[in-house]
Amino acid sequence: MEYDIVTQRHLAAADKLLNYEVNNSKLLKMHQSTAKTRLILGGKRSGKTTWGVVECCWAALGIHPYLDYPDPPLKIRVCGVSNEGVRAILLPMFLDWLPRHAIKKMPTKDDMTMILHNGTFIEMKSYEQDVEKYEGTERHICWMDEEPPRVLYESNFMRTISSGINGRLIITCTPLHGMNWIYEELYDNPMAVPPAVEHIHVAIFDNPHLGEDALDTIKKDPAMQDSLDAVLYGQFVPKSGLVYKEFGDRHILPAVTEPKKEWMLVLGMDLHNRNPHGIVFMGLDKDQVWTVYDEIYEHCTIDDLATKVKAKIGDRWPPVGSVLDTSSNIEQSTSGLTEAQMLTRKYGFYIIDAHKDVEAGLGKLTKLLAGSKPGLKVTENCRNVIREFRHYVWDDWARAKDKYNPKEAPKKKDDHLLDAIRYVCMTELTYRPPGWKYERKTAEASKTTGYYLGKKN
């Protein structure tokens, strides 16, 4: 990249910053990204921390080649995991990349703030500090190196919107803590898209400066095996273990606008008073394969819910049945009826009581997902269903995990739609084509026993 002659003179003593070349096109894309929050998920030694230092130095000096940061002075915050790590890793990297003539005041043990001659300051904090230390005035950039606690991210976020400053947030990390809040809120979330959030994965192999010997050493280290995808590729790894490990891209079908005419339609319903209702629209084909083709994940009244369900089904109303857990139904104060009674009497739902054996249901869904020809599929428009499949993990002990066997129950979170699917699949319904009607055979009763003998001649 080329700078104007004035900038080159200012950087004459900083050939490293002047001649910086991005490791790969992925990191270059993030230097160019205008998203409010940029999430760089990188393997170890993938160059993500260097990327963060250079991004901040460019902005601090007013020479960013891609983004229109305000002219200096800027207010920049840099956060690391520990006080020791900030002093031993991040501070030396800034001193290595910033021109020495640009620095007016060096950080001290008591005041970890660097001030440049152009008025820009770079304050350095750690996750060990209380959240009160993160409050204050606006910041143009808040960079968090490694996964921050959610409360600190939220505090940094508020600093970037104070006084209409329209600042930016950056997280560079190797996701070693599993599917935590970053995964749920900033990664696998339909709302986490530009211009709000943009993310990339940078693998260790994307760093051209790392030799094959170092890569082989990492791959062969026994202690690294459980976190290998995170260490090498910057991928999220579930620490408690996914319940439905079988679920993947092969189970996801293209979106549909309406169910296939030959499907037998069934609703799965997981109703709640305080949490969102989870409703799945499922079709069963002649091969006994279930397809989840639509969903409702919303907190609303039973009246509103019934209206939304009927609107989605349209001229295919009514479905064969609606499967829900009636054991926890609470009488509504206004009607004196339970939710199931309201749906039946007022709106014409045919309610099938759900089979509530969780362990058996987990086994049923696991079996349906397994094999080369799965018995359960999901259309891509069912984003919340797909998200729950990818988030649903086994529970684990909060402390002293090594002293206990793993828990045998899933974590009770992100499961409303999965519960509804489980209810439907546990009914063991047999496919019948739309319009099929049961015909009673004409028979005669035995004059001796009173039992029916079969079809009358």
Q: What are the per-10-residue average pLDDT scores of the chain (457 residues)?
A: 61 68 90 97 87 96 93 96 93 93 92 95 94 90 95 95 88 84 88 94 73 64 60 65 86 94 96 90 96 96 94 93 78 72 91 90 93 94 92 62 52 85 94 79 63 56
Q: Which of 320, 329, 330 is nearest to 351 (CA)?
A: 320
pLDDT at 23: 82
Output the CA torsion sign for 279, 280, 284, 289: negative
The CA–CA distances, whole Å, from 271 to 18, 299, 311, 335, 362 equal 60, 9, 18, 17, 19
Per the structure block, which two tokens stand in for 98?
């910033």
CA distance 125 to 109: 12
Pairwise CA distance, residues 381 & 292, whole Å: 10
**Chain region(s) in the chain for CATH 3.40.50.300:** 5-233
Q: How far apart are CA 239 and CA 247, in angstroms?
A: 17
Q: Does the structural domain 249-425 have CATH classification 3.40.50.740?
A: no
pTM over 0.75: no
Residue 172: strand pairing partners = 40, 145
| Start-end of CATH 3.30.420.280 domains in the chain | 249-425
CATH code reported for the domain at 5-233: 3.40.50.300
